[in-house]
Amino acid sequence: MGPIDLAQVQAELDARHDRDLYLHLETTTGSYTALGPEKLPPVIAFVRNATVRFDRAMVTGEGPYRVGLKLHGGWVYAQGLTDYTVNERGELLLAGHDAEGNLRVALQLSERPFRE
Amino acid sequence: MSILPPPPERIDHLVEGMTLLDPSAEDGLLVVLPHPDDESFSSGGTMALASDAGVPVTYLCGTYGDMGRRMGSPFFATRESMRDVRERELAEACEILGARYELLGMRDRMVEFEDRREVAGRVREVIERLAPSTVITFYPGHAVHPDHDAMGLATKLAVEGLTKRKPQLLGVAVGDRQQLRALLGPPHVAVDIRSVRQRKLDALRAHRSQTEMMFLRWAKQLEEDEQTKAFRQEMLTVERFYRLNGVVGPSG
Ligand SMILES: [Zn+2]
């Protein structure tokens, strides 16, 4: 996984349009924020292996980047993306990391279900 | 720069009012926690002391820890490679601690949403098969992470459901020390781990994706406050547990 290259990520998104895909979408503060100095409750959400199909997809911004997928009847959105890879299973993995390497947001698309 | 401080000569103040447990006198030790690395943080020293004495030690790990946000520093794992990365790290840590491990294979963060009785049943099967004299888990309701609480509860239910010999059940509490003491009193049982502190440290280091940042911070000692130093010194000196047998709490 390395820094997002807008043209390459756009090409990866375009190559996946109008097909049934499995989505992993996630945002996380981590589980231990309540132990930090500000005692904030954790905020975590994820969807894994929901199926989506999009007409249009775009990656944009100056970094960290945003991705929007226009579905047949809805949207998928992620902000704060910094890095990407296409792994050995052909899955497009987009992630946003903080300065220490912690994951903050992830948007992933696969033609096969992600491992349960 | 070594991050291993010399062990304190006296530990009386750290174990006041607690029963000292000698892991080498156990007939078998089973640790049941949800994440790879929970075992090293909470009871790595206890596990090493037991296995050094020939006591069979097993870590029953609930999940692959594959929804963690720590990916290494700098990051080297992805959400999808996390599962294999963390199982490899777990295998290495368990080898250092002299333990074997088994995985229940639940999804990280989802333990509390599984059928509680089914999870308890799976834990019970392992306890019946291995017949340990002591089982260590999280103190349900006092372990911060929902997976910790759920795994602790399932393990407590598993032990309560045993029809034959029940092992001693020890609970790890997590969070603000003072708050925990106000709620629960001091821990009941303490293990002196000074002689195996390097092993505990090595096991923690084996969980590289999760602990790399912590070690980087520890290495920059100048930035550390007294509280952090005291925490590190304590976690490499004693491991403390609450007895959970007979504790009334959340149940099935
Ligand atoms: Zn944990």
- Amino acid A39: pLDDT: 81
ipTM over 0.90: yes
This model's pTM is above 0.90: yes
Ordered by start, the domain boundaries in chain B are 12-243
If one looks up domain A2-110 in CATH, what number appears? Answer: 2.70.180.10
Mean pLDDT on B25-38: 98
pLDDT, greater one: B184 or B246: B184
Three-class DSSP labels, chain A = CEECCHHHHHHHHHCCCCCCEEEEEEEECCCCHHHCCCCCCCCEEEEEEEEECEEEEEEECCCCEEEEEEECCEEEEEEEECEEEECCCCCEEEEEECCCCCEEEEEEEECCCCCC
Distance A62 CA to ligand 1 centre (A): 36
Selection from B65, B27, B59 nearest residue B43 by Cα: B59
- Per CB-CB distance under 8 Å, the chain B contacts of A85 are 78
Give CA angle at B206 (B201, B211), nearest 5°.
Answer: 75
Label residue B252 by pLDDT band (50, 70, 90).
very low
Cβ-Cβ contacts under 8 Å for B83 (sequence gap 6 or more)? A115, B64, B66
Nearest to B21 by CA among B188, B181, B186, B146: B188
On whether any CB of chain B is under 8 Å from the CB of A80, the answer is no
> Shortest Cα distance from A63 to chain B (angstroms)?
18
List, for residues A50-88, the tens digit of each pLDDT value. Answer: 999 999 999 999 999 999 999 989 999 999 999 999 999
Q: Number of C-alpha atoms within 13 angstroms, CB side, residue A6?
A: 9
Share of chain A above pLDDT 90, in %: 87
Cα A34 to Cα A38, A40, B81, B94, B209: the distances in Å are 7, 5, 28, 29, 22
pLDDT in tens, B58-117: 999 999 999 999 999 999 999 999 999 999 999 999 999 999 999 999 999 999 999 999
Give the residues across from A107 on adjacent strands. A25, A94
pLDDT tier for residue B222 given thresholds of 50, 70 and 90: low
Query: What would the mean pLDDT of A31-49 be, rounded to a whole number?
Result: 86
Determine contact: A79 vs chain B, CB below 8 A.
no
pLDDT given at position A40: 85
A–B: how many Cβ contacts below 8 A?
A: 64
Domain range B12-243, its CATH number among 3.40.50.10320, 3.40.50.150, 3.40.640.10, 3.40.50.300: 3.40.50.10320
Beginning with the edge strand found earlier in the chain, give each strand of the sheet holding A65-71 in spatial order.
A54-60, A65-71, A74-81
Q: Which residues of A touch B72 (CB under 8 A)?
A: 101
When scoring B75, B106, B210 by the number of chain A Cβ atoms within 10 A, the one with the most, hence best to mutate, is B75
- Best mutation target among B38, B66, B69 (most A Cβ atoms within 10 Å) is B69
Query: DSSP per residue over B154-167, as a string?
Result: HHHHHHHT-SSPPP
